[in-house]
Amino acid sequence: MTSDTVTPPVAPARHRTAPAVGSVTGLNRFFEDACDSTPHAVALEIGAQRLSYAELDARANQVAHRLRRLGIGPDSRVGLLLPRSAEMYASLLGVCKAGAAFVPVDPAAPADRVTFILQDAGADALLTASARTADAVRAMPPRTCAVIEADSGPGTSRRCPPHVRTKGRGKWRTRWPT
């Protein structure tokens, strides 16, 4: 309840405009804007490892290309069974750039929990660390799902073009994948 003498705070102009229905901006678009404005700034620091926006963007683009070659795109779901690492962040952004939804899975979860999460989400692919590949394959639901090693190093991802831009690709969907 407000009185006539008390004026409620006014949100800054950037917060006052309601977005149009159907115009959702993806996480990767915000990230790409940061890449464009400060490509050499530190985007990620985990332990002694530091990546600039440009370096993280290149890694994310490699992941996106790998996923697209597998047919992963809008309405697809990709499990992320990765420890907190540069690969996890690059994979998360790469999934978004491919147009898919990411399904985070705790690497410490028991195999039956991983199976349930992937099956319940209807995951089309699973990005995992090479050390977890055998566990990931055992945990896979009966429905076939591609298992991709996010930290596979000089594999097919190195041959991918270093860029996948989503600007100008249209509006993001506002419904949940079915």
Q: What is the pLDDT of residue 114?
A: 86
Instruction: Name the amino acid, one letter, at 93.
Output: L
Q: What does CATH list as the number for 25-159?
A: 3.40.50.980
Report pLDDT digits (tens) over 116-155: 898 899 999 888 877 666 666 665 655 556 777 776 643 3
Report pLDDT digits (tens) over 56-104: 999 999 999 999 998 999 989 999 989 889 999 999 999 999 999 999 9
pLDDT over 50 (residue 1): no
Q: What is the pLDDT of residue 59?
A: 92
Instruction: Name the amino acid, one letter, at 60.
Output: A
Partners of 42 in beta bridges = 52
- Nearest Cα neighbor of 27 from 137, 101, 127 is 101
Q: What is the pLDDT of residue 141?
A: 56
pLDDT over 60 (residue 170): no
Provide the percentage of residues in the chain whose pLDDT is more than 90.
33
Burial degree of 178 (CB within 10 A; 0-12, 13-18, 19+): exposed
pLDDT over 60 (residue 45): yes
Q: Which residue has the higher pLDDT, 96 or 169?
A: 96
For 141, the token pair is 């639901």
With beta carbons less than 8 A apart as the criterion, state whether 94 and 61 touch. yes
Q: Residues for the chain: how many in total?
A: 178
pLDDT over 50 (residue 174): no
With beta carbons less than 8 A apart as the criterion, state whether 117 and 105 touch. yes
Band of pLDDT at residue 41, cut at 50, 70 and 90? very high
Query: Which secondary structure element, helix H or strand E, spans residue 135, and what is its range?
Result: helix 133-139
Sign of CA dihedral 120, 176, 137, 142: positive
Q: What is the pLDDT of residue 150?
A: 76
pLDDT over 80 (residue 48): yes
Indicate the Cα dihedral angle 44, 49, 50, 53, nearest 10°. Answer: -60
